[in-house]
Amino acid sequence: MVEPFVQLAPAKINLALHVTRRREDGYHDLESLVVFADLADELEAVPADTDTLAIIGPFAAGLNNGETNLVLRAVAAFRARWPEAVDHGLAMRLTKNLPVAAGIGGGSADAAAALRLMASLSREPIPVADLADMAARLGADVPACLVSTPLIARGVGEVLAPLPQFPALHIVLVNPLVPLATADVFRRLRAHDNYPLPELPSPLTRPAQLGLWLAETRNDLQPPAVKLVPIIGDIVAQLAQTQGCILARMSGSGATCFGLFGSTGQAHQAAQVMRAAHPDHWVAAAPLLLP
């Protein structure tokens, strides 16, 4: 039996997200502190005659495996750019563990995993800069998901500054399983020219440092998202009341909310509290991935 090639697609969390400018092309410039959790979709592949994709897992029903799927788009883009690099097809299987349209980069993370998979199988070295350019063409969040390490993202999300240090923290994610379209959230955004993120402390090694910094930041997309899905506000408020919570906020354009904790015990206890309060929501706890 052939051992499959495997790439993980970790959940992306925007701890802070400031919308700083509406561009002439209609997109927005952002500044965001992005981290990744040890919670992931999983992409497996074995050699085959042609490229195929099967989707399984708890959130498989939210996706199709046609040509518009980001995994297949990423593989097709890679083959178009480097046609001789991988000389066989791939039978791929995506285990969809993360909610869809949830503000935690699920589709973007899957596309990034596909690019990393193709690069790892390539018979020729693939320049990192070229792979990052390809990622940016697939979606604004794909370049950050390609590296899956704590970073500051600017521009539309493609200008990345990885952080050399980051405190060990744990996160609780709660999603009410209400899809929230990013475009709908941006349409309700009132101010498009908010001030940028404050300067990060250096070195950034202690949870208390990060907590103080985060208190001076926002997610500018949270207020319009709460208007569209009011329970987001309730979830954030409940997370903030759990023991040891450093910060509670919404991630990205929602509807996933997070609580940040200094220990695994506090995070798992908070997750239990949230599951008891919202048995029909998706709740997960995990450590953050460190540099």
CA distance 145 to 106: 9
- 10 Å CB burial of residue 127 (0-12, 13-18, 19+) is exposed
Tell me, what amino acid is at 284? Answer: A
Sheet of strand 170-175: strand arrangement: 247-250, 257-261, 170-175, 282-287
List residues with catalytic annotation. 12, 141
